[in-house]
Structure 1
């Protein structure tokens, strides 16, 4: 059997490819709704750029983990690819949301549950709802590509 270092490397390389495809899909979806330069016209562009960096960091960790799962249970590659995709996106969304929460939610003199809802739960819910189909599609490709590469070593 191959060592886990090689298997993890396959996972995060495939995760980086899947993340790049996912970010392009997300940008196109938003460009169709808000125009091609939407990222530069909104107040939360730094938050989105921070989340884009975090998503690659999450891809490094969860991509490696997903490839280990797939190496142990090859027949569940599609399921593990989808789960890994959701974990990567949720991690980036959560950490990206923390910027708005700390910058605007905490200084607000309302109850703590309101900013948590507005700046953490709501973004996670919206990303889950609107990103579900792309995450599933890219997750299937992610899982199958890892399985193919792991089976070849």
Structure 2
């Protein structure tokens, strides 16, 4: 009797679990979608939400970003921006976790592409309904 109930329980469980392997399919080659074009117009983009890291408006193809080398800093570091014309990285990138100023870029802010990304010319995957406070009718302090 006990053996019967275990067998019946296993059969019921097998009906609930979907088949893990389907019928064999041919391995047809499917054409891949073309890679999207990067936006490389060097125009600063409007941010989608407050405190969004700025996007990268130029090509970073071939940029080396490793423990020993950061090509982004050759233009965006404080001492190089006058010659390069690039915007300086935020002063927050020169602070440690406790908010103390450092002489150089903080190691936790060294890998730029962890937050900053280039943009591709594609349709957004998800709609953005963000509205700025000024669009919601909120007036700045002292405007009355």
Normalised by the size of structure 1, how large is the TM-score?
Answer: 0.23
The structure number with the bigger radius of gyration is 2
Greater relative contact order structure (CA < 8 Å, 6+ sep): 1
